[in-house]
Structure 1
Amino acid sequence: MPVPRKVVRPRRLKARRVTPAGRYGPALSVVLILPLLCLFALGFLYPIARLVLISFGDGAPNFDQYRRVFETPLYLGVLLRTISAAAMVTVFSLILGYPVAIAMARAKGRIALVIAAAVLIPLWTSVLVRSYAWIVLLQRSGLVNALLTESGLVASPLKLLYTDGAVILAMTHVLMPFMILPIANALRSIPPDYARAARSLGAGPATCFLRVTLPLSLPGVFAGSVMCFILAIGFYITPALVGGPEAMTMATLIAQQTTVVLDWPFAAALSSVLLLVTLLAVAIFRRALSISKGLSSVA
């Protein structure tokens, strides 16, 4: 009798998990992002942690430096002046920059190139150069005072330099591109059919802007406002040059405490307070953005 052959069953191959194109596994992702995490920890988290520890003193932790900030009228006034100046710079940048953003988003051809150059070329110029330009314009023998005296509007040159108004004006000029670019990007993402549909339903230009264009551009408005406020609240070069010692801000006060007075614990406390105000402002802007999105979706 023929011997029956042993039936060999084919081995089941283990199904491989195919990684979609453009994605990496968890282990490879950790390896790729590890240098960035190390750089972030060494260049950002560690200095901030050291700064906060220095603000509490060398011995037992205490809040003497923070009490000094909030109990001394001079330092509290500098903090409030810095916050109010940053808020005014943000508002002026929004008022002056929104029309430019609309023109930048809707223009075409050579006009679009001219508007983009007018926005980007000052952004590429050094902040130091732009601040010195305002010194030339606002000094007693500068162009602004010369025009005012020659036209007969004032009898003698005005004190325009080294004032809070000069600081706000110069900072608005420096930070306005950071407001224009996010708003222009948000306006470009709005389909033009929305405005045409609103106009066809009887909405006028003002109603179309208030009910369609402005709500849809709010993400760009909030992004530009956050960048302007955060940069303005910690700005150093422009307030130091244009404002001088009479228009002191938190940045110039911190620099004075570290380079002149050499009071590092107090400077660390001032920096920590400024960081806390910045984080609080970011949280408020994010909350306002989420509320505006909810209202727009309901509408």
Structure 2
Amino acid sequence: MATFAKDVGRSGGHAADSYGALSSLLLLSPFLVLLVVAFVYPVGKLLLTSLLSPDLTFEHYEHVASALYVRVFVRTFVIALTVAGITCLLGYPVAWLLARVKGKAAFMMTVCILIPMWTSVLVRSYSWIVLLQRNGIVNEALVGAGLIDEPLKLIYNQGAVIMAMVHVLLPYMILPVYGALKAIPVDLSRASANLGASPVRTFATVILPLSMPGVYAGSLIVFVLALGFYVTPALVGGPSTLLIATLIGQQVTQTFNWPFAAALSTLLLAATIAVTVVFRRFMSFSGRL
């Protein structure tokens, strides 16, 4: 029996080693073609557009370095970071509760989390306009209750942009955190309680550290998505809350300055890649991922 197992192992290993470089390349060819067509070629075209107008020049990148566009980049990163922080604070308790309820309660919570993801971002953004405009539901309720004398300016400002983006991106924080919490064995909490730890200490010393990979993953997803958000800031934001994606859209559709829009897009892509790489390096160094 042992001899038969060794023979099977040798034959399996031989079969596995029989794939050469050419065979492996052929197996990967559909993915490589898709990668070139859907990513490499568009990014290369974008880079060339930002540099050629019609000769090789860096004037568009020098234009981006002006104070106006630097403020737009800084504002975009600040809002993206704020949205990631708020979604983390709001999403973690929801994910924690979802990981512990069962039956119909778990089903209803899952439905409430997933249905917004299936709803158009445009529809959800317009709903905030209905809620926050001067004659909207919120202002009418406040005026009717006698709390204010005249409608407040609740929309077309940075607060409205952050609130609407948190609403849209919250599920992308809840789901990774829920996955991390669900993977934690229940026996760890029981063992901590048996050793005399209070529920608060168990959460702080056992649950929270083990769920941090989900928190980090959700924060990265939300932050990267918020960097390139276009529809929601364009609808509920004003001139004082111009973000980089909205600026790129204006350069393409209004001023038709494609080279400058390509330079902005290239810098945004480079910033997104840099954030992702730094995040991965940091997490590898800390041993979280």
Deviation at 1:77, TM superposition (A): 1.0
Contact 1:218 1:289 in 2 (8 A): no
1:217 alignment partner, SS class:
helix
- Tell me what 2:59 maps to: 64
Larger fraction in helix: 2
User: In the alignment, residue 136 of structure 1 is paired with which amino acid?
Assistant: V
Alignment match of 1:115 (pick from 81, 92, 109): 109
Gaps of 5+ in 2: 1-8
Residues paired across the two proteins, number: 280
Deviation at 1:24, TM superposition (A): 8.7
Distance 1:175 1:23, change over 3 A: farther
Contact 1:66 1:269 in 2 (8 A): yes
Find the aligned partners of 1:60 and 1:281 in 2 and give their Cα distance: 31
Deviation at 1:30, TM superposition (A): 2.7
Alignment match of 1:102 (pick from 76, 82, 96): 96
User: In the alignment, residue 66 of structure 1 is paired with which amino acid?
Assistant: Y
Gaps of 5+ in 1: 1-14
Find the aligned partners of 1:39 and 1:217 in 2 and give their Cα distance: 34
- Tell me what 1:49 maps to: 44
Q: Equivalent residues in 2 for 1:199-210 (5 A)?
A: 199-210=193-204
Stretches of 4+ moved more than 6 A in 1? 20-24
Query: TM-score when scaled to structure 2?
Result: 0.90
2:143 alignment partner, SS class:
helix
Q: Deviations over 1:25-44 (max 9, x none)?
A: 34444323211211111111
Find the aligned partners of 2:108 and 2:17 in 1 and give their Cα distance: 41
Find the aligned partners of 2:134 and 2:171 in 1 and give their Cα distance: 28
Aligned-residue RMSD, C-alpha: 2.2
Find the aligned partners of 1:217 and 1:21 in 2 and give their Cα distance: 40
Distance 1:75 1:19, change over 3 A: same
Deviation at 1:170, TM superposition (A): 0.5
User: In the alignment, residue 157 of structure 2 is paired with which amino acid?
Assistant: T
Find the aligned partners of 2:117 and 2:252 in 1 and give their Cα distance: 29
Alignment match of 2:186 (pick from 150, 169, 192): 192
Q: Percent identity?
A: 49
User: In the alignment, residue 165 of structure 2 is paired with which amino acid?
Assistant: M
Distance 1:288 1:131, change over 3 A: same
Q: Deviations over 1:255-286 (max 9, x none)?
A: 11111111111111111111111112112321
Verify: 1:262 aligned to 2:256, yes or no. yes
Deviation at 1:23, TM superposition (A): 10
2:287 alignment partner, SS class:
helix
Of residues 279-288 and 116-125 in structure 1, the stretch that sits farther from structure 2 once superposed is 279-288
- Tell me what 1:141 maps to: 135
Distance 1:53 1:169, change over 3 A: same
Alignment match of 1:279 (pick from 266, 273, 279): 273
Query: TM-score when scaled to structure 1?
Result: 0.87
- Tell me what 1:150 maps to: 144
Deviation at 1:199, TM superposition (A): 1.7
- Tell me what 2:79 maps to: 85
1:185 alignment partner, SS class:
helix
Contact 1:19 1:25 in 2 (8 A): no
Deviation at 1:202, TM superposition (A): 2.1
Contact 1:105 1:184 in 2 (8 A): yes
1:208 alignment partner, SS class:
helix
Alignment match of 2:156 (pick from 157, 162, 165): 162
